[in-house]
Structure 1
Amino acid sequence: MKQHQGSFKWISLVEQHTDDFEFSEPATLSEIVEAEKELDLIFPTALKECLLESNGVFGEYGLGLVWTLRAITETNTEFRQNNDFSELYMPFDSLLFFGDAGNGDQFAFPIQAGVIRRDDVFVWNHEDDSRSWVAPSLEKYIEWQLNGKICT
């Protein structure tokens, strides 16, 4: 695990609960803006802040608590454009995936009319295509995920 100095809200939040996570070099604001353009939406402020501290937060076995910008853009693009997925699942235009449970299920912010208007986090179940609320914010998602309160 990297040692960080200074004020790092998101890294500190993770470190309060575990030392089994790895942090990446921070994303830049221009990289975030480019990802937003690619996905045609504005990321929630909390996600931007987290990515500006660490471009991805990963646990044991590569668990993606928060993905890198590249993974966020690639996964969301694939899910929205994959013709096979459109035959199997409801549309994914209403979700911004940003992390995973390590079992195929993925965590997302809800998108309404092309805009993220809520800070809530939902989990998409890959087996039954359900979308369920798991946390009221990214902060609580991280805390609850690390405490084992979120089970998928």
Structure 2
Amino acid sequence: MLVEQIRHWGKAAFGAPAAADAVLACEAQLGYKLPDQLRQLLAETNGIEGEYGLGLLWPTHRIAEDNAYFRNNSDFRRLYMPFAGLVFFADAGNGDQFAVSLTGNHEIYVWNHVDDSRVWVAPTVMRYLEDWMTGTLKV
């Protein structure tokens, strides 16, 4: 189980597993199927909260709502490059956010809210969690 691996990397609070219909509703609102590893993780825990309330993995409703907001906000469309092809699923606590690519190998990027850069940070959701929780990944 993925949650059991994550417990070894640091302190975290885990939500109850996401219901299958919650994942489907999230995907319907996004207009995309979530990558398999993210779906599997949500099926085990509908959100992971790190120290100080940090959103290590958002619950399905927040994934859907935040991504809709980012895609539909007219100010964001003027300020930032399009967010198509990415699904935000976690935050760094400083305004930056983590996103999974909807194409290719579903790698993880961090979006910098100040300069609008998107930088590769991990090959998988699980590697992002491990590196972020153990302090290997810094943004």
Is 1:149 equivalent to 2:136 in the alignment?
Answer: yes
Match for residue 6 of structure 1?
A: none
For residues 13 and 65 of structure 1, the distance between their equivalents in structure 2, rounded to whole angstroms, comes to: 14
Give the greater-gyration-radius structure (CA).
Answer: 1
Match for residue 106 of structure 2?
A: 119
Mapped contact 1:109–1:118 kept (Cα < 8 A): no
1:117: how far off? Answer: 3.2
Q: What is the number of equivalent residue pairs in this alignment?
A: 139
Is 1:73 equivalent to 2:60 in the alignment?
Answer: no
Match for residue 128 of structure 1?
A: 115
Aligned sequence identity (%): 42
TM value normalised by structure 2: 0.95
Opposite residue 63 of structure 1, the aligned amino acid is L
For residues 90 and 125 of structure 1, the distance between their equivalents in structure 2, rounded to whole angstroms, comes to: 12
TM value normalised by structure 1: 0.88
Match for residue 108 of structure 1?
A: 99
Is 1:140 equivalent to 2:132 in the alignment?
Answer: no
Deviations 1:81-131 (A, max 9, x none): 0001111111111210000111111000123xxxx3322100000010000
Mapped contact 1:123–1:131 kept (Cα < 8 A): yes
Secondary structure of residue in 2 paired with 1:17: coil
Which of 87, 95, 100 is the equivalent residue of 2:78?
A: 87
Deviations 1:29-87 (A, max 9, x none): 12111111111101011111111111000011211111000110000000000001111
List alignment gaps of at least 5 residues for structure 2: none
Mapped contact 1:36–1:42 kept (Cα < 8 A): yes
Is 1:64 equivalent to 2:55 in the alignment?
Answer: yes
The alignment yields a C-alpha RMSD, in angstroms, of 1.0
